[in-house]
Structures are given as C-alpha cells and as structure tokens.
Chain A
Amino acid sequence: MASSPTAARVSPATSTSPASPMAPPRSFLWFRRIFLTLLTGFVMIPVYVMISSSLKPLADVTGTFRWLPSELTFRPYIDIWSTVPLARYFVNSLIVAGAATVCSVVIAVFSAYAVSRYSFRGKRVFTVTVLSTQMFPGILFLLPLFLIYVNIGNATGIALFGSRGGLILTYLTFSLPFSIWMLIGYFDSVPRDLDEAALVDGCGPLGALFRVVVPAAIPGIVAVAVYAFMTAWGEVLFASVMTNDTTRTLAVGLQGYSTLHDVYWNQIMAASLVVSIPVVAGFLLLQRYLVAGLTAGAVK
C-alpha cells in the first residue's frame, strides 16, 4: 500500500456521463482534490507508521522516530505467532464476529420489517426501548451481565461465560439497536408499491420481505453488517473478562504484546496489519453491494 496521496488520480474521468446532470465546476473539482488528498494523508499516516514500524527491529522502534527503517527485518512477522497464540485469537475473533454479524443482521431485518411495514401496539415502546439501550455505559452492566451468564450456566448447564457463545450473544445484542434503527430507515425508503405488488403475485409477507424489500435495501444491510462485524471485532472491555485463554479474541489478545518487561511495538504493528488484511479485503469485496443502490426510477 502506498502512503503517497492518490490525489493525482482523482480526476473527473466519468463524471460527465449522461447520468450526471451537469458537469461539476472546476472550483468544485479542485476543492475535492485538496480535501481528499488531505484526508488520505490523515488516514494513511498512522497506517504508514504501522507498516514501517512492523519492519523495524525492536531497538529501532523504541528510539527516535524515523520515517524509514534503518534496517529492514521481517522478524516481527515471524515472532508474532510465538509471542502470543495469534492464530487462535484470530480464529476466535472471526467466529465470534462472524456469527454475531449474521445473527444480528437477520434479527434486525425481521424487527425492522415489522416496524417499517406494520402498525401494531407497542411499536413506540419497542423502538424507544431499543434506542435507549445505546445510552447505557458498558460499565453499568458488565458485572450484572457476567452474573446473569454465570447463573444461566449454573441453572441450565449452558456455559455462556468464558465461551464464544456468550460473547456472540453479547455482541449481537450490542449491534442490534443501531442495526434495527438503520434498517427501519432503509426499509421505509423502499417503496411500498413494490411489496404490495409482490403480495398480489401471491408472496406471503415473508416472501415480500426476502424477495423485494431485502434486495432493495442491500446497501443498508451491508452497511449494517459491516457495523455489526466491527462492533464485535474491536470490543475490549467485555472480552477481557468474559473470555479465557482458549476463547480470547484479538482485540484483547493483542495486548499480550505489551508485557511486564517490554512493549513489542513492532510486533503489535505487524500483528495488527496481518489480522486487518482479511477484514479490509472483505470490505473491498462488499463495496460494490454497498453502492449498488436502487435503480433510478424505482421511486416515484
């Protein structure tokens, strides 16, 4: 990945295509160029620091900052696997975040569909309650949640605390409120005529949901899925007390590189990069769904 701003390439190549109503004025293009260049710099400098530091020996990283490594070494990329069980943490994180995302999105789609398309008693209470959960400071329910999981475990034998299942349950609930609220908005913007047409064609309400509404709201669903994934991917506080050595996730596991003796800066950077690559790649793949919006003219 290059750190140099890609501004040179920011040119209005196809912006004068027929879809665009009018050619943007030059001042706009210049402003855009400058803005995006600066933004790229702001975004990429820390990323560059990560990359360059991950290729430096430890002594280099703890010394005065230098833009270029005094000597290149790939040692950190080898050491990261033995300093902490990175592979295991990585798999745990993928499982937990992946499962939480799938469950969260499915549940949110159902809820949002109900709120968007039906009027029923308690709708207001539901939406407000769901939103209000976003106001709780995590600290307030960390201990209580832990207690509940332990008690469920004692009563039913389902081990929630310390297991991936407990973490999945927690994270999917964390991302639910926002997912539901966002999807309500996206579903509302899908014209009702479309699902009514589907119902005329003999689909049930669920058929209308999955054949019409969901496909039309794909960008929103993808955005929500990305959000749900990242919520689970980065959470530190709950993971630090609800996991053990075998179920620990990356977000917590990366702290293992800063030990009582030393902070292995170069290894932290290397490990962060390694684990982020699949996620960024996933983003790249999802991108086209993210922007594949409604076809023009679908909305009257």
Chain B
Amino acid sequence: MRSIRAAATGAVILSLALTATACGGGSTTDGGSNDSPKELTYWASNQGASVEIDKKVLQPELDKFEKQTGIKVKLEVVPWSDLLNRILTAATSGQGPDVLNIGNTWSASLQATGALMPWDAKAFDRIGGKDRFVDSALGSTGAEDQDPAAVPLYSMAYALYYNKQMLADAGVDAPPVTWDELVAAGKKVSKGGKWGIGMEGSNPSENIHHAFVFAQQHGADFFTADGKPDFTNDGAVTAVKQYVDLMAKDKIIAPGNAEYAQNQSVSDFAKGKTAMLLWQSASANLKSQGMADDSYGIAPVPVQSGTPGAGKQVNSMVAGINLAVFKNSDNIDGATDFVKFMTSDAEQKILNTAYSSIPPVKAAQEDAAFNSPANSVLKDTLAQSAVALPQVPDESQFETAVGTAIKDLFADAAGGREVTTASVEAALTKAQQQMPKK
C-alpha cells in the first residue's frame, strides 16, 4: 500500500501545482490590447420577445458597423438566466467578450471586480462626451466616486398601467395619483374574482425595485451615506410594510401573486383580471397577449401625496441596460468605437424603438418616436422623478437578502399570516445580518 500512498501524495502535489498555475492564469494581461483589431465579440442581453428576435434586431446594425469600420462583430444574445453567471466566469478567467450588456443595477458590483474598463473623461470624449447622456441614466453606471464602469444603452422606468374600462366600471374616473387613491380604487375593483393591482411577489428584483421607491418616498434608504447596509431604519420598515400591505391589509392584490415570478401579473392585466399594473414598458408584451392599445392607459406611479418629483416624490428606480467594455479585450479601440456606434443618436433611435425603451441619449430622446403619451410618461419619470438603486458593491447581496425577505413576507400574507411592523422589522433584521460584515 505504501507505493499507492506515495502515488496519491504525488497526485495531490500535482493538483496543487496545477492550482498554482490556475491561480496565476486568471488574468494574464491586465488591461487590454489591440492585438486583433478586426474582430469583436458582443454579448447582448435578451431585450426582445425572444433571443432570435433580438438577433434580427441587432444583426443589421452590426452589419452597418462592419461596413463603417471594417470590424466584424460576433453577436451572442445571452438569456437572462445565464448572463450574470457568464459574466462572473468571464471575469474570473479573463476569457470573455469584448463588449457586453449588463443590467444597470449590477454596475457597481461588477465595477468592484475590476473586470470592466473604467470610462474616464478621455474614454467618454471618444464617444462624444458625458453630456450626451441623461443624468439619471449616468447615475446608474457605478459607484459615485469612481469612473463609470459602463455607458447607458437603454433606459426604462416604471409606470402605472391601468385598464380604462375596469376603473370606469368601478366608478374611478382618473388614474390614481397617490397611494391612498390607488388603494381606494383598488378596493372598489377587487371583487368577484377581479383585483386592484398585480405584483410579482416571488421575484426578488421586482420586490426591491418597489420597496426602494417606497423607501425613497418615506425619505429613507437601505444604505447609509458611506455604503453600510441599514435595512431596519423606520423609513425602510414602513416602506416594506406599505408595499406588502397592498396584499396583507388592503387586499387589493390577489394572494396568488405571492408566487408570481414569471410575469404572470402582466398576463393577468392583459386578461382583465387586474385593473392596474406597475411595470417597465409593458406595451409590446400586452399587445402580444391580445390587449388593444387603447384599452389601457399609462400614468406615473403614485406617490404619497402631491406630484412626482425629486426627493420624497420619487416614483421609480432607473431601470435599464448599460454597455460595458471588458478590460481584457484584445481590441480596446474597436470596442470603444462599437460603444460609440451603439450610443450614436441614429442607433439609439433604432434600438430603443425596437425594444420600446427610452434612449438615455438626450438628442435621441427628442425624436418623435419617443413623444407618444406612453413614452412621455416614461421620459418624464426618468428625467424628473427616477432615482438609481444604491450604487454599492453589495447591491446584488442586497437584492437577494431584502428581495427574499419581502418574498417571504408576501408568502405570509398570502397564507393568511399577519404581517406586522414587528414581523417586517424581524425579516429585515435577518436580511441585514446576512450581508457581508466588511
């Protein structure tokens, strides 16, 4: 047996040696190069109704870019289920695309990995300067005290979608402006299998988006000014409770929504099961489900009182997609050119029209296509009353911890358990204790 032990020891040593090389091998070249100037790899996120539709939207534009610059762009549309994992493994190994789409809420977390090229003033100059972009969109590109990790590509904001007929039938003439009005309207609608409003109770990210806005309206935040988690302050607790109470106390959300995580609330709205819906650009989706454009209206998300604006009058997070350049790219110049191309006024119009989002580029916003009543609501929200989610490296932990806590609170509410200030506070305390200590 002795020789076997020796062999086993040898194997372990060999593994360790391999480990050592693997450790060192992760990022061989820091910063990028321009070794292959004629080619780029681009990971696009899935923005349209399917991966194939995205390819049809993007490919003609990429061909245009090739014609202009001679750079061939290899496109891969990565489904959302894989995108973050693919980016993480790419960051770990240094093997990734040159240019990629990221959810804008990931900006600060990904920035912390150091895998993305920072957009300093010089880099921004190459794509026409920072001034071309809307402020709120720029606010969601990384930590405040650092150069942005990405450039805004598509912007979105939440709006209140309401079924005109259902509200009218319930005797509500105008879409609610405040939460009290929304609850009152919801109560009038919620009978006979119909409900006031729909939510995605099992989707941590959706929960975070709403809870964050409620917190802003109560003058609270989930992080302190120096980036420490602070989930249990009074404002945050009140905010989460107000959100969950829409189901627990006001009973204007169907209990079944507690398990929604796959956009079932949009289907419910399209089918006339719920009268209202808070969503980011639902139009294309509603159309595909057979809801006529003129049967619903779009209004700003309610506030506590008054009208939407800055500070406590915030009524949406800044949603959207950013475009980032992978630091290890072997075609940094080409990648920058590609970002310039994608954020050019002309491309912004084409792409944002195709995806029914709002261009984060000021000049492109002027286009008539973005002045429809629906788009005006989104545009105004973005310009005046939308705030970026906390730009801290722990953002994704925050989404998971608090988003899950709210999911569990919804499950309690749906199961008939009482949701009290104390239970909300307990859930948030637990969430906060799960955050990294440092």
Chain A interface residues (CB < 8 Å from chain B) = 58-59, 62-63, 82-85, 121-122, 125, 143-144, 146-148, 150-151, 153-154, 161-162, 240-241, 244-245, 252, 255-264
What 3 A-B pairs are tightest by C-beta distance, nearest first? A122-B4, A150-B93, A62-B267
A151: B residues at CB distance < 8 A: 21-22, 25
A84 with B52: CB separation less than 8 A? yes
- Which of chain B's residues 252-271 have a Cβ closer than 8 Å to chain A? 262-264, 266-267, 271
A240: B residues at CB distance < 8 A: 81-82, 85-86
CB distance from B111 to the nearest CB of A (A): 20
A121 with B81: CB separation less than 8 A? no
Q: Measured between alpha carbons, how far is A161 from B85 in the docked complex, in Å?
A: 14
B21: A residues at CB distance < 8 A: 151
Decide: A148 near B95, CB < 8 A? Known: A252-B82, A263-B263: no
A263: B residues at CB distance < 8 A: 262-263
- A59-B290, A151-B25, A261-B284 given; 14 more Cβ-contact pairs under 8 Å: A63-B271, A82-B52, A83-B51, A85-B52, A125-B4, A147-B22, A153-B95, A154-B25, A257-B50, A259-B49, A259-B50, A261-B49, A262-B263, A262-B288
B142 within 8 Å of A by Cβ?
no
B8 within 8 Å of A by Cβ?
yes
Overall SS of chain A's interface: helix
CB distance from B4 to the nearest CB of A (A): 4
B86 with A241: CB separation less than 8 A? yes
- Which of chain B's residues 1-43 have a Cβ closer than 8 Å to chain A? 1, 3-4, 7-8, 18, 21-22, 25-26, 28
A143 with B92: CB separation less than 8 A? yes
B47 with A58: CB separation less than 8 A? no
B285 within 8 Å of A by Cβ?
yes
CB distance from A261 to the nearest CB of B (A): 4
Q: Measured between alpha carbons, how far is A264 from B288 in the docked complex, in Å?
A: 11
A260 with B47: CB separation less than 8 A? yes
A125: B residues at CB distance < 8 A: 4, 8
B28: A residues at CB distance < 8 A: 154
Q: How many residues of B contact A (CB 8 A)?
A: 43
Give 27 pairs: A residue, B residue, CB < 8 Å, sorted on A.
Answer: A58-B289, A59-B290, A62-B267, A62-B289, A82-B52, A83-B50, A83-B51, A84-B50, A84-B52, A121-B4, A122-B3, A125-B4, A147-B26, A150-B94, A241-B85, A241-B89, A244-B76, A256-B50, A259-B46, A259-B48, A259-B50, A259-B80, A260-B47, A260-B80, A262-B266, A262-B285, A263-B262
A162: B residues at CB distance < 8 A: 95
A144: B residues at CB distance < 8 A: 22
Chain B interface residues (CB < 8 Å from chain A) = 1, 3-4, 7-8, 18, 21-22, 25-26, 28, 46-52, 76-82, 85-86, 89, 92-95, 262-264, 266-267, 271, 284-285, 288-290
B49 with A262: CB separation less than 8 A? yes
Q: Measured between alpha carbons, how far is A244 from B44 in the docked complex, in Å?
A: 12
Q: Which of B52, B264, B288 has the most CB of A within 10 A?
A: B52
A261 with B51: CB separation less than 8 A? no
Q: Which B residue sits closest to A123, measured CB to CB?
A: B4
B284: A residues at CB distance < 8 A: 261
Q: Measured between alpha carbons, how far is A125 from B85 in the docked complex, in Å?
A: 35
A85: B residues at CB distance < 8 A: 51-52
CB distance from A9 to the nearest CB of B (A): 39
A147 with B49: CB separation less than 8 A? no
B267 with A256: CB separation less than 8 A? no
Q: Measured between alpha carbons, how far is A161 from B52 in the docked complex, in Å?
A: 24
A261 with B8: CB separation less than 8 A? no
Q: Which A residue sits closest to B284, measured CB to CB?
A: A261
Q: Which B residue sits closest to A257, measured CB to CB?
A: B50
A261: B residues at CB distance < 8 A: 48-49, 263, 266, 284-285, 288
B49 with A256: CB separation less than 8 A? no
B89: A residues at CB distance < 8 A: 143, 146, 241
B4: A residues at CB distance < 8 A: 121-122, 125
Decide: A83 near B52, CB < 8 A? Known: A62-B264, A150-B25, A150-B93: yes
Q: Measured between alpha carbons, how far is A154 from B76 in the docked complex, in Å?
A: 22
Q: Measured between alpha carbons, how far is A214 from B85 in the docked complex, in Å?
A: 42
A59: B residues at CB distance < 8 A: 271, 289-290
A259: B residues at CB distance < 8 A: 46, 48-51, 79-80
Q: Which A residue sits closest to B95, measured CB to CB?
A: A150
B77 with A245: CB separation less than 8 A? yes
Q: Measured between alpha carbons, how far is A52 from B78 in the docked complex, in Å?
A: 30
Q: Which A residue sits closest to B264, measured CB to CB?
A: A62
Decide: A260 near B86, CB < 8 A? Known: A59-B271, A59-B290: no
Which one of A58, A62, A148, A256 contacts B51 once the chains associate, using CB atoms below 8 Å? A256
CB distance from A298 to the nearest CB of B (A): 35
B80: A residues at CB distance < 8 A: 259-260
Which one of A84, A121, A147 contacts B3 once the chains associate, using CB atoms below 8 Å? A121
A262: B residues at CB distance < 8 A: 49, 263, 266-267, 285, 288-289
B50 with A148: CB separation less than 8 A? no
Decide: A258 near B289, CB < 8 A? Known: A83-B52, A84-B51, A147-B93: no
Q: Which of B25, B95, B266 has the most CB of A within 10 A?
A: B95
CB distance from B272 to the nearest CB of A (A): 11
CB distance from B276 to the nearest CB of A (A): 18
A241 with B92: CB separation less than 8 A? no
A121 with B49: CB separation less than 8 A? no
Q: Measured between alpha carbons, how far is A161 from B94 in the docked complex, in Å?
A: 12
CB distance from A141 to the nearest CB of B (A): 12
Q: Which of A63, A150, A252 has the most CB of B within 10 A?
A: A150
Q: Which B residue sits closest to A263, measured CB to CB?
A: B262
B82: A residues at CB distance < 8 A: 240-241, 252, 255
Q: Which A residue sits closest to B289, measured CB to CB?
A: A59
B79 with A245: CB separation less than 8 A? no
A82: B residues at CB distance < 8 A: 50, 52
Q: Which B residue sits closest to A126, measured CB to CB?
A: B4
Q: Measured between alpha carbons, how far is A259 from B285 in the docked complex, in Å?
A: 11
Q: Measured between alpha carbons, how far is A143 from B82 in the docked complex, in Å?
A: 14
Q: Measured between alpha carbons, how far is A254 from B297 in the docked complex, in Å?
A: 34
Q: Which of B1, B4, B50, B93 has the most CB of A within 10 A?
A: B50
Q: Measured between alpha carbons, how far is A148 from B263 in the docked complex, in Å?
A: 38
CB distance from B99 to the nearest CB of A (A): 15
B271 with A255: CB separation less than 8 A? no
B95 with A161: CB separation less than 8 A? yes
Q: Which B residue sits closest to A144, measured CB to CB?
A: B22
